[in-house]
Amino acid sequence: MRFVVSPARLKAMVMLLLCLKKGWVFVKQSASHRESLTRAAKYYHSALHEAEDYLAERGITLEQAQKARLGVVLDPLTGHEQYANRLSIPYVTRSGVVDLRFRAIGHEEPKYMGLAGATTHLYNVGAFFRATTYICICEGEIDTITLDTVCNIPAVGVPGVNNWKKHYTRLLADFDKVFLFSDGDNAGAEFAKSLSRELSNLVNIQMPEGEDVNSMYRTHGVEFFKNKILSAQ
């Protein structure tokens, strides 16, 4: 049986490899730095069970969280003391982990923290290798995991609407459709308006007021997203 790759997917894969090579997606890092981040992610992943209740509240099973290589900073590594008891979210590529972000499991502020001096990146770029004619964009890692890993709908994520970079559009331009599942707030609406000026193939699907992808999944399930995509194609 022949494996057929759609032209859009092939172009996106080639563009992703080119952007990775040129450092347009991730800041170029030494192999030792990636190895250090990969070891940290693996270490925190071993304590993932500590976040089981938090994940269950968001409709994410431990098995699904394991696929995303999530972890918990139960015993912080040197220099990571400020991230104690937070969810560890690795940015995984085929060459290793290129970044770590940390989310509060309780009500701590700030909700998200990044590594000191780190540059923000596009989350879950592996989705480009699985997507066919369309791909989705979410705001935040948890929403991306919800759509991509839980619902099995290819999605990449932006860690906050202010962290979008114009060169990301090069990865998205050749898809038939790019579905933006924006949050139900003013920031989400403004993000969609801004992105629509960069991507002619963008379809904005804004969540109801006060809602996001994860909350809509918990109340309406995967069919909500599949129906939205189907009706927009």
3-state SS record for 110-174? CCEEECCCCCCCCECCCHHHHCCCEEEEEECHHHHHHHHHHCCCCEEEECCHHHCCHHHHHHHCC
Q: Is 194 helix (H, G, I), strand (E, B) or coil?
A: helix
215/174 Cα distance (integer angstroms): 30
The CATH number of 127-232, from 3.60.10.10, 3.40.1360.10, 3.40.50.1820, 3.40.50.1980, is 3.40.1360.10
CA 13 to chain centre: 17
Question: Quick one: pLDDT at residue 7?
Answer: 62
Q: Specify the CATH superfamily of domain 31-114.
A: DNA primase, catalytic core, N-terminal domain (3.90.980.10)
Neighbours of 230 (CB within 10 A): 9
Question: Quick one: pLDDT at residue 187?
Answer: 96
Per-10-residue mean pLDDT of the chain, 233 residues long, equals 52 58 55 92 98 98 98 97 98 92 95 90 94 96 98 96 92 95 97 96 97 98 97 88
User: What is the pTM for the complete model shown?
Assistant: 0.89
Question: Quick one: pLDDT at residue 120?
Answer: 86
201's CB contacts (< 8 A; 6+ apart) are 172, 173, 175, 176, 177, 178
Question: Quick one: pLDDT at residue 24?
Answer: 46
Question: Quick one: pLDDT at residue 87?
Answer: 98
The residue to which tokens 């202010």 are assigned: 162
82/66 Cα distance (integer angstroms): 23
Indicate the domain borders of the chain: 31-114, 127-232
